[in-house]
Structure 1
Amino acid sequence: MWIQARMTFTTALRETKEEAGLGTEHLQVINSFVQELRYEVRGKPKEVLYWLAELKEPGTAVTLSDEHQDYRWARLEEACTLARYKDLQDTLRAAQRHLEAQQDKQ
C-alpha cells in the first residue's frame, strides 16, 4: 500500500484515511523507505512523497472516497503496468528492493 502526500507524513496519513478509509490503527508504516517524485501537472511543478506501509491485518476492508472508482492489490509487475509512469514504476521497484533487503537482514 502506498501512502502519498504533498508536504508531510501527517498529511499522508490524513489523505490515506480520507481516500481509502485506512487509519494509523490499520497501518504499519515502514519508516526506512520514503521516495520523492517531482513532475508537472498542468504546467505546474508538483512534489509528492511516498511512504511504504503494510496493513496490520491483511483482510482489512478498503473504503474508497468519491475521488476514486476502484482499487486492487497487485504484484510488482502488474502494479508497474498499472502505474504507467516510469518514475512511479521506479518507485515501486525501489520499494520492492527495499523490502527484500530488509528480509535479507532478518
Structure 2
Amino acid sequence: MKKAAGFVVFRRLCGEIQYLLLKASYGSFHWSPPKGHVDPGEDDFTTALRETKEEAGYDENDLIIDKNTPITLNYQVKKEPKIVIYWLAELRNPNQEPILSEEHTELKWLGKEAAKDCAGFKDYQVMIDKFHELIVAREKPQ
C-alpha cells in the first residue's frame, strides 16, 4: 500500500480564503495540494513538511500548521490502495508565492468551490469542506 502526506495550504487575501493547488507535470496532470510519498523511516508529518518545501517552497516557518485535525483520504491509484494524510496549514504571509519544483507545471490559489471543482475528486471535495468549516469556526468570536 502506498502512503503519502501533505498540507492543504490556504491563505487569507482580500477577505477571501484561498487554497493552493498544484498541477502535476506527469500522469493525468491532476491538481492537488503539496504532498508526496512517505520515505522509509520517516513519519507522516515529516513527510508533509518535506514535500511542501520541495513542491511549493514553504517550510514550517512560513506556515501556521494545525497538527490536531489531520484528515486521511483512502483511494485507489492504478488499482492499488493509497492513503494520504493531510494537515491544514495557513500561509503566514498571504503574498508569499510558492516556488514550484519540476513535479508541477502550474499553481492556482482558489476559493473553496473553485478548488473543489479544480481538483475534482469527491474525497478531496469532502476534505476541503471539512477544513473550510474548521477555518470559519475559528474566526467566530467565542
Please say whether Structure 1 and Structure 2 have the same fold, judged by a TM-score greater than 0.5: yes
Once the two structures are TM-superposed, the CA of residue 51 in structure 1 deviates from its matched residue by 0.5
Q: Is 1:42 aligned to 2:78, yes or no?
A: yes
Once the two structures are TM-superposed, the CA of residue 22 in structure 1 deviates from its matched residue by 0.8
User: Hey, what does 2:25 align to over in structure 1?
Assistant: none
| Native 8 Å contact 1:6 1:49 kept in 2 | no
Cα RMSD for the two superposed structures: 1.5
Q: Is 1:90 aligned to 2:115, yes or no?
A: no
Instruction: Report how many aligned residue pairs link the two structures.
Output: 106
SS in 2 for 1:46: strand
Q: Is 1:73 aligned to 2:119, yes or no?
A: no
TM-score computed with the length of structure 2 as normaliser: 0.69
| Native 8 Å contact 2:34 2:55 kept in 1 | no
Structure number with greater CO (CA < 8 Å, separation at least 6) is: 2
Q: Report the residue type matching 2:103 in the other structure.
A: E
Q: Report the residue type matching 1:43 in the other structure.
A: K
SS in 1 for 2:109: coil
Instruction: Summarize the Cα distance change of 1:104–1:5 in structure 2 as closer, same or farther, 3 Å threshold.
Output: farther
Structure 1 spans left out of the alignment, 5+ residues: none
Q: Report the residue type matching 1:28 in the other structure.
A: I
TM-score computed with the length of structure 1 as normaliser: 0.91
Q: Which residues in structure 2 correspond to 1:45-64 (within 5 Å)?
A: 45-64=81-100
Q: Equivalents in 1 of 2:62, 2:127: separation in Å?
A: 23
- Structure with a larger share of its residues in helix: 1
- Structure with a larger share of its residues in strand: 2
Q: Report the residue type matching 1:76 in the other structure.
A: K
The list of structure 1 runs, each at least 4 consecutive aligned residues, that deviate by more than 4 angstroms after superposition, is: none
Select which of 60, 69, 87 maps to 1:33: 69
Q: Is 1:17 aligned to 2:53, yes or no?
A: yes
Once the two structures are TM-superposed, the CA of residue 23 in structure 1 deviates from its matched residue by 0.7
| Native 8 Å contact 1:20 1:63 kept in 2 | yes
User: Hey, what does 2:19 align to over in structure 1?
Assistant: none
